[in-house]
Amino acid sequence: MKVLLVRPQAPNKLSFTKILDNEPLELEYLHTALQQEGIEDYIYDGLVEFDIEEAIRREKPDVIAITGYITQETLMIGYCRLAKRINPTIVTIVGGVHAQLNYSRFYCDEIDYVYRSECVWDFVKLVSLHQGSARPGEPSLHQDNTRLEQPGPHPEQPSVHPGGIDAKALKEINGLCFRGEKGFVENELRAVDIDSLPIPDRSFFYRHRSSYRYLNLTEVATIKTAFSCPYSCNFCYCTLLSGGRYQARDIELVVEELARIDAQNIQIVDDDFLIDVSRLERFISLVKEKDIRKTYICYTRADFVCNHPELIADLAEIGFHYFLVGLEAVSDEELQGFQKQTDVTMNERCISVINSTSAHCIALMIAPVDADKAYFENLYRWIVKNKVLYVTVSIFTPIPGTPLYEQYKDQITSTDIADWDFLHLVMEPAKLSRREFYREYNKLFLRLYRLAKKTGIYDFMDLSYYKSMLGSYLRRKIRGE
Ligand code: SF4
């Protein structure tokens, strides 16, 4: 029995690889659990390998399990189709954050299971159910050399049901969606105890450490210390994951894992790491006690930073280097509209608190669809006035599953899921034409590029390459292509 664990390549519309590339932690968790049960697996990361077909033919998996974000949905389905074409007996599973809430988008012939839970042990249980029917090393039954294509209905392709598996056993697997006689059956998704996660085996990361980075920080390992977020900003998808229930790991376990990671740079991938003051104080004291000297990246909120400047200084002192803050907007009205529970004064104070330490604030902003010329100008001036060195401006994109998606879904004009990358307009702008909107967005991008060039903060990367990639994309949009 062999399982191929897959994270697809970045979707090819706009690729920002070599800037923000995460270790595939979710696959390493599955690998760890499979390994403990004596099941062989192979991790295919699209940041490391570039030919999925070659990997499937070479590894000859019995099961292929694919994770991915919303923009990778088409690739995930395409990879399952490819696996079935190479060998119709391969069991196909999709999972990950997009599939967890948008599972029905994966109901198609080439997918056997949508795995929604974070429980790695139930994943092993699912794989084990197929162990009896596995035929490792069996030659491909359908060697048609078909290359990867876009998904879509393929009526000529016979549907290969994993077959022979007792539905009663499948019913017991947390949150599983599986094919029944009348379409997919959806098991109830129950909360998973976060402390039941094993400490991940990072041998994959150690073999490929040069592939993972965060801006100028190289060989960045990732660590997860909590599920979901206790806040409920209405545009946010992350807060709805894991049943929408915030669960923090035992901080002693977190630090134990941290101490074992052989990497200088650590990205804490919690949706918001800075929540519980006493937990953070314990974290700081354990890190000092164990003399762990690393550099950290984490997400936080403006109100937390404003209310706890001393704690921010202490975190900076033990190595926190980048605080990513969802500032989102430069008006109280917009922030209220997002149910952010912050205001512009907090945003401004947050930047100055972080700037007063050795750490940096990475401001995450959203350009709303009703932005006009004055809005873009005001946003730029606010960024300059508040000395925000690191900033990303996303185009407002309602994500399926969120309350704002429900509000805007009738206005969505885009039909290509790869457009959900926060750089595309998925609905019509309210005050500008599409071309004008992209022109203003492009102008803002060029002004921010010039600022960044002056400060030298992005000197580690080939800024002109990314400028030309994004610039030519935006120029195509301005031309209406
Ligand atoms: S945007 Fe941030 S603070 Fe708001 S719900 Fe999402 S993760 Fe939590």
Query: Is the CB of 238 inside a 6 Å radius of any atom of ligand 1?
Result: yes
- Ligand 1 centre from 234 Cα, in Å? 9
Decide: helix, strand or coil at residue 64.
strand
49 contacts 4 by C-beta, under 8 angstroms: no
Buried b / exposed e along 417-455 (16+ C-beta atoms within 10 A)? bbbbbbbbbbbebeebeeeebbbbbbebbeebbebbeee
- The hierarchical CATH code for the domain 212-478 is 3.20.20.70
- Ligand 1 centre from 336 Cα, in Å? 14
The closest-lying atom of ligand 1 relative to the alpha carbon of residue 229 is 8
Residue nearest to atom 6 of ligand 1 (CA): 236
Do 2-186 and 212-478 agree at the fold level? no
- Average pLDDT, stretch 303-330? 98
Pick from 431, 433, 405: nearest CA to 417: 405
- Ligand 1 centre from 236 Cα, in Å? 6
- Ligand 1 centre from 365 Cα, in Å? 13
Question: Which 3-state string (H, E, C) describes 197-226?
Answer: CCCCCCHHHHHCHHHCEECCEECEEEECCE
Ranking 143-157, 214-228, 260-274, 300-314 by mean pLDDT, the lowest is 143-157
Most ligand 1 atoms within 8 A of CB, residue of 238, 362, 394 to mutate = 238
DSSP 416-431: -GGGTTTTS-SB--SS
Residue nearest to atom 3 of ligand 1 (CA): 231
Query: Is the CB of 271 inside a 6 Å radius of any atom of ligand 1?
Result: yes
Which pLDDT value is given to residue 84?
97
Which is more confidently placed, 13 or 441?
Answer: 441
The closest-lying atom of ligand 1 relative to the alpha carbon of residue 301 is 3
* Arithmetic mean of pLDDT over the chain: 89
- Average pLDDT, stretch 13-25? 75
Query: Is the CB of 236 inside a 6 Å radius of any atom of ligand 1?
Result: yes
Which pLDDT value is given to residue 453?
81
Most ligand 1 atoms within 8 A of CB, residue of 233, 336, 338, 347 to mutate = 233
CA distance 250 to 194: 9
Confidence of residue 254 (pLDDT cuts 50, 70, 90): very high
Most ligand 1 atoms within 8 A of CB, residue of 229, 268, 276 to mutate = 229
Query: Is the CB of 338 inside a 6 Å radius of any atom of ligand 1?
Result: no
pLDDT digit string, tens, across residues 283-300: 999 999 999 999 999 999
Most ligand 1 atoms within 8 A of CB, residue of 228, 231, 269, 350 to mutate = 231
Structure tokens at 162: 């994993």
Which pLDDT value is given to residue 154?
39
- The hierarchical CATH code for the domain 2-186 is 3.40.50.280
The closest-lying atom of ligand 1 relative to the alpha carbon of residue 272 is 7
Confidence of residue 144 (pLDDT cuts 50, 70, 90): very low
Structure tokens at 244: 């929408």
Most ligand 1 atoms within 8 A of CB, residue of 225, 268, 275, 301 to mutate = 301
- Ligand 1 centre from 271 Cα, in Å? 7
Q: Are strands 320-328 and 390-395 parallel, antiparallel or unpaired?
A: unpaired
pLDDT digit string, tens, across residues 424-435: 999 999 999 999
Query: Is the CB of 109 inside a 6 Å radius of any atom of ligand 1?
Result: no
For residue 159, pLDDT over 50 is answered with no
Query: Is the CB of 229 inside a 6 Å radius of any atom of ligand 1?
Result: yes
Confidence of residue 17 (pLDDT cuts 50, 70, 90): low
Query: Is the CB of 328 inside a 6 Å radius of any atom of ligand 1?
Result: no
Which is more confidently placed, 223 or 452?
Answer: 223
- Ligand 1 centre from 230 Cα, in Å? 8
Query: Is the CB of 455 inside a 6 Å radius of any atom of ligand 1?
Result: no
| Residue 265: HSE in the Cβ half-sphere, 13 Å Cα cutoff | 19
Task: Name the amino acid, one letter, at 375.
Answer: Y
- Ligand 1 centre from 34 Cα, in Å? 32
- Ligand 1 centre from 240 Cα, in Å? 10
Query: Is the CB of 249 inside a 6 Å radius of any atom of ligand 1?
Result: no
Which pLDDT value is given to residue 131?
86
The closest-lying atom of ligand 1 relative to the alpha carbon of residue 340 is 4
Residue nearest to atom 4 of ligand 1 (CA): 233
pLDDT digit string, tens, across residues 387-426: 998 999 999 999 999 999 999 999 999 999 989 999 899 9
Which pLDDT value is given to residue 231?
96
Residue nearest to atom 7 of ligand 1 (CA): 271
The closest-lying atom of ligand 1 relative to the alpha carbon of residue 237 is 6
For residue 179, pLDDT over 50 is answered with yes
Domain locations in the chain as residue ranges:
2-186, 212-478
For residue 177, pLDDT over 50 is answered with yes
CA distance 134 to 410: 45
